[in-house]
Amino acid sequence: MSTASQHPHIRRIGVMGGTFDPIHYGHLVAAEEAYFSLGLAEVLFVPTGTPPHKDRGQVSAAEDRYTMTLLATVDNPHFKISRLEIDREGTSHTVDTLREMRHWYAPGSVVFYFITGLDAVLDILNWKEPEEIAAFSKIVAVSRPGYNPHRLEDLPSTIRRSVIPLEIPLLAISSTEIRRRVNLGRSIRYLAPWPVEHYIYKKALYHRKDGW
């Protein structure tokens, strides 16, 4: 198979998939690091619509997660955002997203780098058509410090050979921790861009009686 490194005219497109509930500086640093270290032409943020693996009631409205992602990425010229999964009916499957995106570019002109969390990648065998995902794209597995990327060795070689581990120190920030802090009335200043922080307050997100 030909690769972007063998053919410098082939563009490398980052596809940053996540629930982004909310998006935070860890995600943004990961995307920026992938952009520079992998020589990407751009990074396309794709907030999930209805995640296949999560209880719908646990996840904030897709429009809120989309708006926060837009607010967080608007000042970076090589970050773009797609409504593809948000506007699609039914559950969001990564393989369908990549399949559709392939039609946006001339055949053979791009290589996709699907960027997401290491934990999500370790669960990839439970996703729809994981071998196809590995055939359509490189899979960038972003980890927090202390996470063990050796667990990737357990994946079948057909998938493992497409996986690129990427450790990001700032990813110690987590969406779960931000939601928990908001629920407790604690500060989230400097964990997410300030427009995201103010959007959370304005829409009164992350207030649950049973906590996070």
Contact residues toward ligand NAP (CB under 6 A) are: 16-19, 26-27, 30, 48, 51-53, 92-95, 115-117, 119-120, 127-128, 142, 174-176
CB closer to ligand NAP, 2 vs 187: 187
Q: How far is the CB of 9 from ligand NAP (least distance, A)?
A: 27
Q: How far is the CB of 2 from ligand NAP (least distance, A)?
A: 26
Q: How far is the CB of 134 from ligand NAP (least distance, A)?
A: 12
Q: How far is the CB of 195 from ligand NAP (least distance, A)?
A: 18
> Cα(73)–Cα(37) distance, rounded to whole angstroms?
19
Alpha helices in 137-206 (DSSP H): 157-160, 175-184, 194-202
> Cα(20)–Cα(181) distance, rounded to whole angstroms?
16
Closest residue to bound ligand NAP by CB: 117
List the strands of the sheet with 110-117, edge to edge.
79-81, 42-47, 11-18, 110-117, 137-143, 163-167
Burial code (b: 16+ CB inside 10 Å, e: under 16) for 150-172 equals: eebeebeeebeebbbebbbebbe
CB closer to ligand NAP, 87 vs 108: 87
